[in-house]
Chains A and B, each alone.
Chain A
Amino acid sequence: MVSILKRGLAIIILLVIGYWLAQGLSGVPFGQDKMLVGQYYLNHVKQQTGAVNAVTAVVVNYRGFDTLGEVTVLFIASTGVGALLWGKNRKRTARTEGSVVLTTGTRLLVPFVILFGAYIFIHGHLTPGGGFPGGATIATAFLLLYMAFTMYEIPYKAFEKTEGIVGMGYVVVGLIGLAIGGYFLFDWIWQTWGWGHNNIGRLFSGGFIPVIYTIIGIKVGTELSGIIDNMLKEEVKE
């Protein structure tokens, strides 16, 4: 009885919220050109950043500081997961090994999954993708290993060190920009050194976007693998 009442109340609230949202959105025309800043980015992205993919240029170059904050949020989340699930004697407790299909497939596929992740984040300025999807793909490879083998563990000390070093690398790239160009995350490779001005659309262009996306890719990959590791281990009581 109570649950039916609760459910009915919830549905009424949802209908009110839905009507309100639809009312608000009916004033926003769909499919019309509403760009102001976006048009500026699209017009100048090739000369100013050297990237072909405007989305990654916005994420890494025009709003690079925002992305540094985003990476920090991800770092805090992974540290938070580690702190919440902290325990003294944590081990893997899975009992059954994966099936033959899973283990064989994992052995064959893991190098290629990691290679594909690296491809995604290195070509972030040319194709859809970038550091975050690439890093997630790399973490998928480690998740596959965890699912297939009961005893597998990532070398988490090395992973944590890698994560810290590449995180500092991002700040160092920004600080070099501060020293050369006068503001944090200034694109020194593209604007001061002028590398790759005559092969826009090929791999060696885009200023520091491939560099930063490689950093982000490694960082996200190690962080997400660390989260997987923390979640799959359980405290063993003896």
Chain B
Amino acid sequence: MISVYYFGSIALVLIGLYGVLVKKNVLKMLIGLSIMETGVNLLLISIGYIYGRSAPILSEGIGPNQAVDPIPQALVLTAIVIGVATTAMALSVAIILYQRYGTLNVEEIRRLRG
């Protein structure tokens, strides 16, 4: 049986993927992508977790053997920033799509292009 955190992150990835596959509005697809990203980040963080240990900040009372793995957290820090950058790019493409075609519906855009 898998842990509840793994289950939650898989569920988030699947919810996001459902949005990307089924929704027709570009903005809703982008929201799906963001939800998928959240799921992946949660998965990375929960892989780095160790029972009974604290955040990897070695202040008083927390030695090197009482902290969780710092590397997944550093990776997720990177991933969040890259996620913001890609979301901003995608949103500006969506703005241009709306200016060109007057709609954000993918099927209508496909029809208008012929």
**Interchain CA distance A128-B76 in the complex, whole Å:** 13
Q: Chain B's nearest CB lies how many Å from the CB of A87? A: 10
Query: If A10-B21, A31-B49, A67-B78 touch, does A52 touch B57 (CB 8 Å cutoff)?
Result: yes
Q: Chain B's nearest CB lies how many Å from the CB of A92? A: 15
Please name the 5 residue pairs, one residue from A and one from B, whose CB atoms are nearest each other, closest first: A77-B85, A30-B3, A54-B70, A54-B56, A38-B69
**Interchain CA distance A204-B84 in the complex, whole Å:** 31
Q: Chain A's nearest CB lies how many Å from the CB of B32? A: 11
Which A residues contact B (CB, under 8 angstroms)? 6-7, 10-11, 13-14, 17-18, 21-22, 25-26, 28, 30-35, 37-39, 41-43, 45-46, 52-55, 57-59, 63, 66-67, 70, 73-74, 76-78, 80-81, 84-85, 126-128, 130, 132, 136, 201, 220, 224, 227, 230-231
Query: If A10-B18, A80-B89 touch, does A132 touch B77 (CB 8 Å cutoff)?
Result: yes
Residues in A whose Cβ lies below 8 Å from that of B55: 128
Q: Chain A's nearest CB lies how many Å from the CB of B54? A: 11
Main secondary structure of the interface of A (DSSP, over half): helix
A22/B10 in contact, CB under 8 A: yes
Partner of B56, one of A30, A33, A55: A55
Query: Is B2 an interface residue when CB atoms closer than 8 A count as contact?
Result: yes
Residues in A whose Cβ lies below 8 Å from that of B106: none
CB-defined interface of B78-109 with A at 8 Å, one 1/0 digit per residue? Answer: 10111011101101110110000000000000
Partner of B59, one of A28, A52, A58: A52
Query: Is B114 an interface residue when CB atoms closer than 8 A count as contact?
Result: no
B95/A231 in contact, CB under 8 A: yes
Residues in A whose Cβ lies below 8 Å from that of B59: 52, 201
Partner of A18, one of B14, B47, B67, B71: B14
22 pairs from A and B in contact (CB 8 Å cutoff): A14-B17, A14-B18, A17-B14, A18-B10, A25-B6, A30-B2, A42-B56, A42-B64, A42-B67, A46-B58, A53-B56, A53-B58, A54-B57, A55-B70, A55-B77, A59-B74, A59-B77, A63-B74, A74-B82, A84-B96, A132-B77, A132-B80
